[in-house]
Chain A
Amino acid sequence: GAVVSQHPSRVICKSGTSVKIECRSLDFQATTMFWYRQFPKKSLMLMATSNEGSKATYEQGVEKDKFLINHASLTLSTLTVTSAHPEDSSFYICSARESYRAENTEAFFGQGTRLTVV
C-alpha cells in the first residue's frame, strides 16, 4: 500500500527554537496533505489542510504564523513549529491523499512526530 514517511519521529527542543517536520509520500503524488496534533488520550485534531502549490487552509484557532506549512511539491509537505513553547509539546501526524476531491480515497498516515519542548 501507499506509504507516507514522516521525519523526525521524535524531537526535543529548547523553548523559543523552531522545529521542522517533514511529511513525504513515497510512492504516490499527494495533492492534499493534512496536519494533525494529538494530545495524550485525545483524538486527532485537524490543524490545517495543505494543498500543493497553494496556501494551506488552517482550522479555526490554529495560528498560521505559529505553524508554518509548506507544500512545495507533490510529494513533500513541511510543518514548522516556530518559537516553540512547552505547550506545543504534542504528537504531530501528517496524512496524505492522492486524489483531489476524490470522495472515497483513503488517507495514509505518517508515523508521527513526538515533539517535546523543554
Chain B
Amino acid sequence: RKEVEQDPGPFNVPEGATVAFNCTYSNSASQSFFWYRQDCRKEPKLLMSVYSSGNEDGRFTAQLNRASQYISLLIRDSKLSDSATYLCVVTPRSSGTYKYIFGTGTRLKVLA
C-alpha cells in the first residue's frame, strides 16, 4: 500500500460546481498535513495546511479524519483558474525527521 493515496482523476466539473477530493495515508503517526496545488510544469505551491479541527480559507475547506486516516479538500464555486493538480502531503516522522510525502495528485479541470 502506498503511503499516501489519491484518486488521480481527472475531475471535470462545470464552473460554479462544488468538488471534493480525498486523500488516505497509511502512517498513523503522521503529524502534519497539507494541500498543495501544482500547475502544469511548475513547482507545487501551498494551498492550505490541514488542522485537526478542520479549517476554511475562502472557497476552500480542509478536513482531517485521524481515525480513518484521510484528509479532504472541498472547493466551492469552482473557477476556471482552479484547474490544476491538487497534491496532499503527509509528514510521517522517520529517524527524527519529518519527511514530506506527496500523494499522487488529483487533476481538476473546471470547464466553462
A interface, CB within 8 angstroms of B? 32, 34, 36, 42-46, 49, 51, 57, 91, 93, 95, 97, 100-112, 114
Chain B residues lying within 8 Å of A49, measured Cβ to Cβ, are 97, 99
Residues of B within 8 A of A43 (CB): 87, 102-105
Chain A residue at minimum C-beta to C-beta distance from B43: A109
Q: Are B102 and A34 in contact (CB under 8 A)?
A: no
In the complex, what distance in Å separates the CA atom of A36 from the CA atom of B102? 10
- Cross-chain contact of B99 among A46, A106, A114 (Cβ < 8 A): A46
Q: Are B44 and A104 in contact (CB under 8 A)?
A: no
Return 29 A-B CB contacts under 8 Å, by A number: A32-B97, A34-B100, A43-B102, A43-B104, A43-B105, A44-B87, A44-B102, A45-B102, A46-B101, A51-B97, A57-B95, A57-B97, A91-B41, A93-B43, A93-B44, A95-B100, A100-B97, A101-B97, A103-B31, A103-B98, A104-B31, A104-B32, A104-B49, A105-B32, A106-B49, A107-B100, A109-B43, A111-B43, A112-B43
Cβ of B34 within 8 Å of any chain A Cβ, yes or no, is: yes
B43 touches A110 (CB 8 A): yes
Q: How far apart are A94's CB and chain B's nearest CB, in angstroms?
A: 9
B42 on the interface (CB 8 Å rule)?
yes
- Kindly identify, within residues 65 to 112 of chain B, every residue whose CB is under 8 Å from any CB belonging to chain A: 87, 91, 94-105
Q: How large is the interface on B (under 10, 10 to 19, 20 to 34, 35 or more residues)?
A: 20 to 34
Structural contact, B49 and A101, CB atoms closer than 8 A: no
> B residues within 8 A CB of A104?
31-32, 49
The answer, yes or no, to whether B59 is at the interface (CB within 8 Å) is no
Q: Which residue of B has the minimal Cβ distance to A94?
A: B43
A106/B34 in contact, CB under 8 A: yes
Extra 17 A-B pairs, beta carbons < 8 Å, given A44-B44, A49-B99, A57-B94: A36-B102, A43-B87, A43-B104, A45-B102, A46-B99, A46-B100, A46-B101, A57-B95, A57-B97, A93-B44, A103-B91, A103-B98, A105-B32, A106-B46, A106-B49, A112-B42, A112-B43
